[in-house]
A and B are shown apart, each in its own frame.
Chain A
Amino acid sequence: MTDIMDTSTPPRTEDHDVPENITKAYWRENLSLMGILLTIWFAVSFGAGILARDWLDQFSIGGAPLGFWFAQQGAIFVFVALIFVYSFRMHQIEKKYGMSDDND
């Protein structure tokens, strides 16, 4: 899947130190995933619902002005999706680095 998996010994999961390069790579992937999701979090609420709402209101979704809709409904739907995407992606990342807690 990635170069990390090819160059290092298989990571161990129980009662051992995880090699440092693995934890670093894991943490970097976690942070960049977080960065992307938090950008979306900011964009749909503070962006679409507050800062850019006047401009967005020229469009509409059903019978509601778009900016107003984001502030009252849209942002909340996106928030829910963001958490599940994070949970799902983190599960994949943890599996990739042998850090899954599935069997706990």
Chain B
Amino acid sequence: MDPTLLWTAFFVIATFGLYIGIAVWARAGSTDEFYVAGHDVPPLFNGMATAADWMSAASFLSMAGIIAFSGYDGSVYLMGWTGGYVLLALLLAPYLRKFGKFTVPDFVGDRYYSQAARIVAVICALFISFTYIAGQMRGVGIAFSNFLHVPIEIGVIVGAIIVLFYAVLGGMKGITYTQVAQYCVLIFAFMVPAIFLSLQITGTPIPQLGFIGNAENGTPLLLNLDRTLVDLGFQPYTEGLKSKIDVFAIALALMVGTAGLPHVIIRFFTVPKASDARKSAGWALVFIAILYTTAPAVAVFARSNFIDTVNESTYSQEAARGDIPAHDLPEGSTPGWFYNWENTGLLGFTDLNGDGRIQYRADPATNEVTTLDRDIFVLANPEIGGLPAWVIGLVVAGGLAAALSTAAGLLMVISSAVSHDLCKKVLLPNMSETQELLIARSAAVGAVLIAILAGIYPPGFVAAVVAFAFGLAAASFFPVIFLGIFWKRMNKEGAITGMATGLLMTGAYIVHFKIGFSSIVMGVLAVILAISAFILFMGTRSEGKSTPALLYAAGGFALLGLLGLIGVLPSIPMGTSDQWFLGISPEGFGTVGMFCSFAVATIVALATKAPPQEVQDLVEEIRIPSVHAHPVHTDAPAE
């Protein structure tokens, strides 16, 4: 067996063993421990856990590659996925922590004194989390199949069982401490190759300085890269293709979406007190920033290095067949790692002009690098940097740590949304804590089974995961939570219409431009609406406010869903980019959805009656995050 495979297997098994060990140590005994780790995670650890929770397989493997290809346009991810923490720390986290409950729907339901608002929030949380988790499981499967040469299906199932093990056993407590370990694994795995690459290309070990440093020939690295790219027919690296308004909208949607994502928000429920929520957000961003400021440097190094070593190099058929070792190749030959990665299908070379050399160009008619997967820039870094085989194993373990930690956080949201928000708070209010824990654990198992299916048979919407998760979080959760804290007059009518407006508008725009309203898609959406209407009917019945209209609506949607699924509804063709509203892409539309949600919520709230006095008192209460003047727990669980 080759050493890379052995080292990869070693690191994957060792880290998985570590995660399981931590899970056994951190078992959860009560709902308090299961949902919020007993509210006693130190801020520094919570910061690390948040960072691991937050940084998914996409951040770890794909982001540097996306930036390497898109240059300036990649900035939207860098700013967008960090700036949201400022909003979280200043506007949401301390107040939500003071509120002292378990979940985001808890806050929405109590602050807006309405089961309907709670149910809409549950549905949003479930939809966002399922979209996101499907992408993570797919990432786990791909990592397994590329590096350990096992089928994607097995990879997905192995990854899912590991996550399931520590999520079901340890709940939030188990997840938190495994995420701390996963952060250490992933950041080490990301930084080691980055530091070596920086040393090699710019002579400084700090990638952030290498980024603004000079290349070997003494000119600035970025200027060099700009010139080279223009020569090859590409866009200069420091220029973008996206319009200014689109860059603005995407960055804002990602920031606000980050602040509204339920799996990020619930992490701040686990610290002991409100002031810790602020500190914890600061630490989280420090740990995230280590990777996020290194990624653009890696992107520049990798793109420069790729062009320097591959473009116009002589492709060796012998080396490709493995007849001669790569280090025996003469000067000017294609480097050894190129042949290795060709075998995985992530890189491809077609000698169009038959000169035996690789021409890397922008023009598809002359470009001979016919396949260039964006993940290659992180995955191949250790080899490009000439690092030993164990570093590659470490990078694979890091990618898996990133995917698993995010999947676990999402699983927690799904499990608590079903057991706590839906069963305990809506359908079966009288159940005991033991029963609730049992349902929470069963919900986690159920969610994992669905995630396995979604990982093996990825539904079309997984490709639009960024647009969906962030757009919907920005347009549905952020406005109602923000207004709930900062505007006492905000009432339930405003909250429900605001959330629904943001959700439907943004959802429809993304579906239209990313997936297209085919009959099946409409059918699936109608089924989701039918289930939602039915849960709303059941949930509001206990309040005595239910109307049979909801039941009729559920029936109608169910019928429509059936028609859609058998394919008899008319299809609307997918929209094209020249039809974008104000030139804003689906990824950025969450910004528009958010403003509309704010506007509708405010207008409706002003037109309807003010919230009851005790709710206004609750708002006063959470605004002084550090003082326990009144117990905020109105229906605190047994502690």
Majority secondary structure, B binding face: helix
Task: Report whether B627 and A90 are in contact in the complex, using a CB–CB cutoff of 8 Å.
Answer: no
Residues of B contacting A50 in the complex (Cβ-Cβ under 8 angstroms):
75, 244, 247-248, 251
CB distance from A66 to the nearest CB of B (A): 10
**Is the Cβ of B83 less than 8 Å from the Cβ of A37?**
no
Q: How far is the CA of A86 from the CA of B88 in the complex (A)?
A: 12
B511 CB to closest chain A CB (Å) equals 27
Q: Is the CB of A65 within 8 A of B238?
A: yes
A87 and B620: CB pair below 8 A?
A: no
Chain B residue numbers with a CB within 8 Å of A73 are: 78, 208, 211-212, 293, 296
List A contacts of B72 (CB < 8 A): 68, 71-72
- The number of chain A residues with a CB under 8 A from chain B is 48
Interface: B301 (CB within 8 A): no
Question: CA A102 – CA B67 in complex, angstroms?
Answer: 43
Residues of chain B contacted by A72 (CB below 8 angstroms): 67, 72, 74-75, 78, 211, 296
Listed stretches B112-120, B275-283, B351-359; interface member:
B275-283
Q: Looking at the complex, which one of A51, A76, A84 makes contact with B82 (CB distance below 8 Å)?
A: A76
CB atoms of A63 and B222 under 8 A apart: yes
A34 CB contacts on chain B under 8 angstroms: 90-91
A82 to B282, CA, bound (A): 9
CB-defined interface of B280-313 with A at 8 Å, one 1/0 digit per residue?
A: 0110011001001100100000000000000000
Question: What number of B residues sit within 8 Å (CB to CB) of A?
Answer: 55
Q: How far is the CB of A29 from chain B (nearest CB, A)?
A: 12
Interface stretch, picked from B139-147, B213-221, B399-407, is B213-221
The listed residue with most A CB atoms (<10 A of its CB), out of B74, B620, B624, is B624
Residues 231 to 269 of chain B near chain A (Cβ within 8 Å): 238, 244, 247-248, 251-252, 255
CA distance A90 to B91 in the complex (A): 13
A18–B629 Cα distance when bound, in Å, is: 7
Closest Cβ neighbor of B625 among chain A residues: A101
Residues of B within 8 A of A94 (CB): 275, 626
Q: Mark A28-66, 1 if CB is under 8 A from B, else 0.
A: 000000100110010001100111000001001111110
A41 lies within 8 A of B86 (CB): yes
> Nearest residue in B to A30 (C-beta to C-beta)?
B623
A contacts with B: majority SS: helix
Say whether B376 faces chain A, with CB atoms less than 8 Å apart: no
Contact residues, B346-395 vs A (CB, 8 A): none
Complex CA distance for A4 and B74, rounded to whole angstroms? 49
B221 surroundings in chain A (CB, below 8 A): 63
Q: Which residues of B contact A14 (CB under 8 A)?
A: 628
Contacts of A83 in B (CB 8 A): 85-86, 89-90, 278, 281-282, 285
Mask, A4-19, CB within 8 Å of B = 1, is 0000000001111110
B220 and A101 within 8 A (CB) = no
* Nearest CB in chain B: distance from A46 CB, A: 6
Minimum distance in angstroms from A96 CB to a CB of chain B: 12
Q: Which residue of A lies closest to B626 (CB)?
A: A101
The reply to whether B83 and A18 form a contact with Cβ atoms under 8 Å apart is: no
The answer to whether A79 and B624 have CB atoms under 8 Å apart is no
Chain A, residue nearest B486 (CB):
A31
Say how far B482's CB is from chain A's closest CB, in angstroms. Answer: 12
The answer on a CB contact under 8 Å between B273 and A104 is yes
Q: How far is the CA of A27 from the CA of B623 in the complex (A)?
A: 8
Among residues of B, the one whose C-beta sits closest to the C-beta of A95 is B626
Q: Chain B: which residue is nearest A91 at the CB level? A: B275
A72 to B213, CA, bound (A): 15
| A69 proximity list for chain B (CB < 8 A) | 212
Contact with A along B566-594 (1 / 0, CB 8 A): 00000000000000000000000000000
Q: In whole angstroms, what is the CA distance A47 to B125 when docked? A: 32
In the assembled complex, the Cα of A45 lies from the Cα of B293 at a distance in Å of: 14
Q: Is the CB of A87 within 8 A of B282?
A: yes
Determine which of B79, B289, B292, B620 lies in contact with A49 in the assembled complex, contact meaning CB atoms within 8 Å. Answer: B79
B205 CB to nearest chain A CB (Å) = 16
With A71-B75, A76-B289 already in contact, the answer to whether A38 and B213 are too (CB < 8 A) is no
CB contacts (< 8 Å) of A87 on chain B: these are 89, 275, 278-279, 282
Asked, given contacts A64-B220, A86-B90, whether A23 binds B620 with beta carbons under 8 Å apart, the answer is: yes
How far is A75 from B620 in the complex, measured between Cα atoms in Å?
33
Residue B274 lies at the interface, judged by CB distance under 8 Å to chain A: yes
> A interface vs B, CB < 8 Å?
13-18, 23, 26-27, 34, 37-38, 41, 45-46, 49-51, 57, 60-65, 68-69, 71-73, 75-77, 79-80, 82-84, 86-87, 90-91, 94, 99-102, 104
Which 4 A-B pairs give the minimum distances between C-beta atoms?
A: A63-B220, A62-B212, A101-B626, A71-B75
Given contacts A45-B79, A99-B627, 7 further A-B contacts (CB under 8 A): A15-B628, A50-B244, A68-B222, A72-B296, A73-B78, A79-B289, A84-B282
- Provide 27 A-B residue pairs closer than 8 Å at the C-beta atoms, listed in order of the A residue: A15-B628, A37-B86, A37-B90, A38-B86, A38-B90, A41-B83, A41-B86, A45-B79, A46-B251, A62-B212, A63-B219, A63-B220, A63-B221, A63-B223, A68-B75, A71-B78, A72-B211, A73-B211, A76-B292, A77-B293, A80-B286, A83-B90, A83-B282, A87-B89, A102-B275, A104-B272, A104-B628
